[in-house]
Amino acid sequence: MARTREIEYAVDGARYVGYLAEPEPSDPAVDRSLPGVLVAHEGPGISDHARTRARRLADELGYVAFALDYIGDGQALTDRQQIMAKLGPLRESPERTRALGHAGLAILLAQPQVDPNRIAAIGFCFGGTMALELARDGVDLRAVVGFHSGLATTRPGDAANITARVLVCIGADDPLIPPEQRAAFEAEMRAGGVDWQMNLYGGAVHSFTNPDADRAGMAGIAYDQPTDERSWQAMRELFDSVFR
């Protein structure tokens, strides 16, 4: 059973509240011995979905996981206009997105059990975009995994800075990540010389990993259990490879 706690931190004077999960029991005699995974939540904010993923990384894989907060105050918004108002500036500014990602990464790296040489980042929806932007910023990551991840960036040339192995898991019928965006991402990865994979899942739409997705009542957003399980397994296989 993972040990969990909330961690409050600040970025440019604003309050953020993340969620740490680490294996139990821990051995205090072993410092910096475990892989660390940064978890970036879906667009509305940090929720049970991100917290559950952090706990699974600790319980199933024995990693230390930190679910960062990029909306603020540890909240999950429900009003679409408020969500878009928060995400709009981040979409327009990779620099701001990266800064928030770096702040969460600093919390993860500060944990005494985390091996700084075995770090990965995963993200869901815009959180996947954030994980990719950290890689584009040249952060020393072993792997980046995006689930129903936004793939677009205003700085595609920065793909040349990526040293991580990249996996994006996309619903083939996701209206928020259309074929044109996928094609542009492929071109970006090729031009950057990145070790990358894109898994397409037939019949899946956006938010396929989130059991609560159907509550949004929006076309093109729905949970899909088989795709959730297959994409998680793909992540596990990548981590098995890079964290040896």
Query: What's the CATH superfamily of 3-242?
Result: Alpha/Beta hydrolase fold, catalytic domain (3.40.50.1820)
Is 9's pLDDT higher than 70? yes
Residues paired with 16 in a beta bridge: 9
Mapping DSSP to helix (H, G, I), strand (E, B) and coil, where does residue 159 land?
A: helix
Contact 31, 110 (CB under 8 A): no
Q: Residue 38 — φ and ψ, nearest 5°?
A: -85, 130
Whole-number average pLDDT of the chain? 95
Residue 5: pLDDT over 60: yes
Ordered by start, the domain boundaries in the chain are 3-242
∠ CA 103-129-242, rounded to 5°: 80
CA distances from 236 to 103, 132, 215, 230, 233 (A): 25, 18, 28, 10, 5
Coil, helix or strand at residue 158: helix
Q: Is the pLDDT of residue 194 over 70?
A: yes
- How high is the pLDDT of residue 1? 86
pLDDT for residue 26 is more than 60:
no
Task: Kindly indicate the confidence band of residue 144, based on its pLDDT and cuts at 50, 70 and 90.
Answer: very high
Do 176 and 146 form a contact (C-beta atoms < 8 A)?
Answer: no
Lowest mean pLDDT among 49-53, 84-88, 137-141, 199-203: 84-88
pLDDT, residue 28, reads: 55
Residue 25 pLDDT: 61
pTM of the model: 0.96
Q: Do the Cβ atoms of 68 and 103 come closer than 8 Å?
A: yes
